[in-house]
């Protein structure tokens, strides 16, 4: 059966990321950006080149998870067609330096630039495109030009991180293009590290409990959260929100412990305050942390989650 361009790109990107097949990443990028090669030719090339590997493409394709992975990636590529124009606009150097028109600039990460855009339905979304500027700038070096393989790897890694996890206010992939762009859902709320003392004091037990359930769900999906307070938000109506996840990891127990600890650290860590308010800040953060840990006794929580909460100590994050 002949492969569509989206199917072939999805197969090559997913397989090549799993097995570190560099040419496969490049082939996926070519399929996403040009008609220089036909989908069946790309797949045939990959079959030939990987035949002697420990896990050849021929042996990888029949695995149980593959069909679902490919279906997801094809859907994301199909959805990207309606964002193609704005993504092309965002890739212009002058626009990246000073967003104009339909774009709003968000804080860029270590490996990507991010822009706020609007979906055809009028909802906000996030467009991310890869960059190497940051990691080289700190070393005083001129960043090399991104290769097609770099762009495909960037998109594939974000697809794996931004899964369709059943958490309402968590970033999810909406559309993707292996030419180097991914669109994800907008996460509402104010970043935790920007919350004032009064705002922290008003965080409800209901939102804390829901936050525990959410980080538990994210962990069991094999995703690690960042604990620096800039990638987690709090909304007085919706509760906690999570975006720019740290990494994918198959060790569920490790993810669970890390995510429960990460949210606790964000609740307890220092925010920018005046010196004279420091004692009050410590009191509020300690009380918030103790309420968080105390919810481990809630009967709705899994036993292992409650057990991890019981091991957390405020002193680790106390100034």
pLDDT value of position 107: 56
Q: What is the token pair recorded at 218?
A: 């994210």
Q: Residues 135-187: pLDDT tens digits? A: 666 667 777 788 999 999 999 999 999 999 999 999 999 999 999 999 999 99
* Section 59-72 average pLDDT: 96
- Give me the pLDDT at residue 151, please: 95
- pLDDT > 90? residue 117: no
pLDDT score, position 254 = 95
Q: How confident is the model over 211-229, as a mean pLDDT?
A: 93
Flag the least confident range among 5-14, 31-40, 169-178, 265-274.
Answer: 265-274
What residues pair up with 232 in beta bridges, in sequence order? 242
Distance between alpha carbon 90 and the CA centroid of its chain, in Å? 20
Residue extents of the structural domains in the chain: 5-185, 190-316
- Encoded tokens for 170: 């968590």
- For the stretch 259-308, pLDDT in tens is 999 999 999 886 655 555 667 778 888 899 999 999 999 999 999 999 99
The Cα 112–Cα 184 span in angstroms is: 13
Question: Where do runs of H (alpha helix) occur along 231-277?
Answer: 252-268
Residues 5-185: name the CATH superfamily. Phosphorylase Kinase; domain 1 (3.30.200.20)
């Amino acid at each position: 059966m002949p492969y569509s361009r989206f199917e072939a790109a999805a197969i090559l990107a997913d397989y090549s990321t799993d097995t570190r097949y560099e040419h496969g990443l490049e082939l996926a990028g070519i399929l996403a950006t040009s008609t220089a090669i036909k989908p069946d030719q790309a797949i045939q090339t990959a079959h030939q080149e990987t035949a002697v590997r420990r896990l050849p493409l021929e042996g990888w394709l029949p695995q149980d998870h593959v069909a679902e992975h490919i279906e997801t990636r094809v859907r994301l590529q199909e959805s990207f067609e309606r964002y193609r124009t704005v993504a092309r606009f965002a890739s212009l150097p002058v626009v990246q330096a000073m967003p104009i028109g339909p774009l709003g600039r968000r804080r860029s990460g270590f490996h990507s630039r991010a822009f706020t855009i609007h979906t055809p339905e009028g909802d906000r979304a996030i467009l991310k495109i890869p960059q190497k500027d940051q990691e080289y700038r700190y070393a005083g070096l001129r960043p090399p030009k991104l290769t097609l393989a770099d762009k495909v790897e960037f998109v594939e890694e974000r697809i794996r991180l931004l899964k369709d996890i059943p958490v309402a206010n968590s970033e999810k992939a909406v559309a993707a293009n292996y030419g180097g762009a991914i669109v994800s859902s907008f996460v509402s709320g104010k970043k935790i590290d920007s919350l004032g003392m009064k705002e922290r004091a008003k965080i409800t037990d209901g939102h804390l409990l829901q936050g525990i359930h959410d980080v538990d769900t994210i962990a069991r999906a094999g995703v690690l959260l960042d604990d620096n307070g800039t990638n987690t938000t709090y909304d007085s109506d919706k509760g906690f929100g999570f975006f720019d996840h740290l990494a994918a990891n198959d060790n569920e127990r490790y993810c669970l412990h890390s995510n429960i600890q990460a949210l606790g650290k964000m609740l307890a860590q220092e925010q920018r305050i005046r010196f004279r308010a420091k004692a009050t800040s410590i009191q509020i953060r300690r009380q918030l942390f103790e309420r968080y840990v105390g919810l481990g006794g809630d009967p709705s929580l899994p036993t292992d989650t409650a057990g991890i909460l019981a091991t957390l100590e405020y002193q680790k994050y106390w100034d």
